[in-house]
Structure 1
Amino acid sequence: MSKRQQNKEERMNRIIEQAEVLFLQDGFERVQMQDIADASELGVATLFRYFPKKDQLIVAAAVRNLAPTLDAFKELTSRPGNAYSRLEAILDYLLDQQVKRTSHSRFREAFESYASSVASPLPGIDDYIELQREIMETLEPLIADGKTDGSLRSNLDVKATVVTIINAFGTFGNNIILKSHISYLEDDIEPLIQQRVLREMLLSYVRP
């Protein structure tokens, strides 16, 4: 990569990073392109050369936010071991992310809510959808092994079950963590306890 191209990549990454911070802090609607330009230490005209529309930048920030999940799933699903142990590892990863990276989860929930509420598809949303598809594709080796290695119940629709478990656990965990400050919870059923209970319920369902 040439020095010029490297500088361009670094500038774009800085723009997206600063945009994500501002979007999470102030909301997608309130943040103006001038705010992002100021935070990125760029002129607003330069910013518009990279992202002609704010919605393009919103999607770029969402893709950046989701990308580490793809890398993590690739590593987890390629580990040695049977399908059950890898599914267990994925749930543990999601639980850890929910506990440690609440801003990460809050951004994703806010983005998906925003994207679903606009009148027409966001420009570049196909990139986000494609990334989600790639994440699901990393589950194929786990699913294939789950049909043959005996670590999952033999009467399951393995693909439907694995995908549902991961989606349900991720959605529940994000929801209960993000809303914990406005929801009444008894001391002995705090969010982490409920997440662990759900984890065990889901894993016990697939065990032979």
Structure 2
Amino acid sequence: MNPTLEVQGLGFSYGEIRLFEEVSFALHPGETRAILGPSGSGKTTLLHLLAGLLALQEGEVLWKGERIRGYSEGALARRRLSYAGLVFQHHYLQAELTALENVLLPGYLAGKVDPAWGHELLARVGLEGRAHLLPQALSGGERQRVAVARALYNRPQLLLADEPTGSLDRRNALRVLELMLGLAAQLDTAVILATHDEQLVAGMEELRLGGP
């Protein structure tokens, strides 16, 4: 069986600045890997390459054995919508939409709107009573939990999380991380988590950028 994500010899440079080279690994359903490194080491760039949001320079990225380099921009966007979920440091919720409507947004884009599933996801992240509220009525931790539910709405095979707890205090960070990884495990979703916080991901398999 092909891995969910296969990375072969990735390298990337910004002008004369070499961020990383020869990055290779494979990730199977339900597996989690932490990408560690200081600010500027290339963590976000690597995630954008894995998501097909940035053009490859060196190496290949494969989703279930298919090279994403071969997709047109439009075809890759459609494939990403169903295959990969994205969580960022800032929640990027739509201010005019309720928590439930934000969770359902990927469904509208994919033509698969299921309010019952949206409510279930909010319940799983502990927000079953907050579905009707706009983002400004939610705390920072609650907004990020809505963002996690939104990223998993289309039951993606791959979840890419870029410093998803970076703007939260330690208590909320641990809560969001626990919920995100627990829900992804239930869906058998492979997870790549980029962070500078080594304590947060202690015990996870690591890929380290920008130093030993």
Relative to the length of structure 1, the TM-score reads 0.26
Bigger radius of gyration:
1
Higher relative CO (CA 8 A, sep ≥ 6), structure 1 or 2?
2
Higher normalized helix content (fraction of residues) = 1
Normalized per residue, the structure richer in strand is: 2
Which TM-score applies when normalising by structure 2? 0.26
